[in-house]
Each structure stands twice: as C-alpha cells, then as structure tokens.
Amino acid sequence: MNNASLLLDKGVDAVDGKVGTVHDLYFDENTWTVRYMVVDTGKWLSGRKVLVAPEAIVKPWHHQPEIAIKLTTEQIRSGPDLDATMPMVDQKLRSANELAGYHVQAADGEVGEVDDLLLDDELSRILFLVVEVKGVLFGKKVLAGPSLISRVDGEAFTVHVDGNRQALKNSQEYNPAA
C-alpha cells in the first residue's frame, strides 16, 4: 500500500525527459478506481495540467524518486488538458487532494476527518481512507475501506460511512510502518 500524499509534487519523467510533477489523482468515487494522475507541467507547456492514465506509469513506482511514464513529451503535449476536461471531471470523478481533510460522518455523528488515501501498488485502486479519529488523545488513525462509504458530499466536504462512530473508531488502526 502507498500513500497518495507521497505522490504529490513528485517529479514525472517521460521517456525523453522530465515533464513536470504530480499535482493530483482523480478517481471514480463509485468504484474507487484511479482514473488519472494529474501532471503539472510547470513552465513546460505554459504550466498546463495534463491527465495521464495510470496504465502509462512504469511499475514499480512507489520506491522511486521520480514517476516514470511510458509516454513521450510529444504525447504529453497532445494529451488532454485538465482545464478542457473539467466538466467531465466535475461530474464523474473526485480529486484525491480535495478528499483529504473532508469530515467523516457516521450515522450517529462526526468521527473525524480524512487524513490520506492508501493506494494499491499498481496505482489503480484506492484501498483505504486513513481517518484521523477525533476525540482520541494521541491522534489515532484508522482505516476505512471503500465498502464502508455510503456517499461523498462534495458541497459539505463530508464522507458518509455506514455504521456508527464507535464501529469506525474500533476499525483497524493505521500503522504506516507496516
């Protein structure tokens, strides 16, 4: 498992040179499948944010200092621009950056907030949300699988989970060293 937050600002290398940094991930909130990595091209391509499919990422990626992709700089140049695809993104996909910090609401009240997302090694699925539980002295963090999530409310910045607060507080504790 890999933290989505560790991807942010990581350099991205095309087969023929550096193209920018990772800006975000977009995922389908119904299937929790990663659909795109958003690459900020910085000064190259006038600072465009370009969508790159996870299939283009050279594996393994998680222990590398840069993310290598199987695309040329020309393919990136002609790739879909985030600004041009915003209506599609707004309606069907959710930003991993935006989800971090959302409140987590159980049937009987607020539990805490989303601290991070854990991804599979293929960068294709979100396996867990890391939830920082409120009301715990030492900042306990627990794992909430997508199957626990009933809906995501982008207007209220809230993730709704099935069950009550105590059930989520008793979920598997997040251990980043594991």
The CATH number given to whatever domain includes residue 108 is 2.30.30.240
pLDDT in the model for residue 76:
85
Name the domain count of the chain.
2
Residues 67 and 138 reside in one and the same domain = no
Residues 71 and 142 reside in one and the same domain = no
Region of 118 on the Ramachandran plot (φ > 0 left; ψ -120 to 50 alpha; else beta): beta
pLDDT surpassing 70 at residue 91: no
Residues 90 and 10 reside in one and the same domain = yes
Residues 13 and 59 reside in one and the same domain = yes
Residues 90 and 113 reside in one and the same domain = no
Residues 142 and 120 reside in one and the same domain = yes
| Whether the Cβ atoms of residue 22 and residue 41 lie closer than 8 Å to each other | no
pTM over 0.85: yes
What's the rounded mean pLDDT across residues 18-33?
92
pLDDT class for 83, splitting at 50, 70, 90?
Answer: low
What's the rounded mean pLDDT across residues 78-86?
67
Contacts for 15-23: CB closer than 8 Å, 24+ residues apart: 15/69, 15/70, 15/71, 15/72, 16/72, 16/73, 17/73, 18/66, 19/44, 19/69, 19/73, 19/76, 20/44, 20/50, 22/67, 23/49, 23/97
Domain that holds residue 78: 2-96
Residues 140 and 87 reside in one and the same domain = no
Decide if 123 is inside a domain: yes
User: Alpha-carbon distance 55 to 67, whole Å?
Assistant: 12
Residues 20 and 103 reside in one and the same domain = no
Residues 92 and 107 reside in one and the same domain = no
* Residue 89, C-beta contacts closer than 8 angstroms, at least 6 positions apart: 26, 82, 95
pLDDT surpassing 80 at residue 123: yes
Residues 108 and 120 reside in one and the same domain = yes
Decide if 112 is inside a domain: yes
What's the rounded mean pLDDT across residues 135-161?
89
Residues 7 and 90 reside in one and the same domain = yes
Do you know the residue count of the chain?
Answer: 178
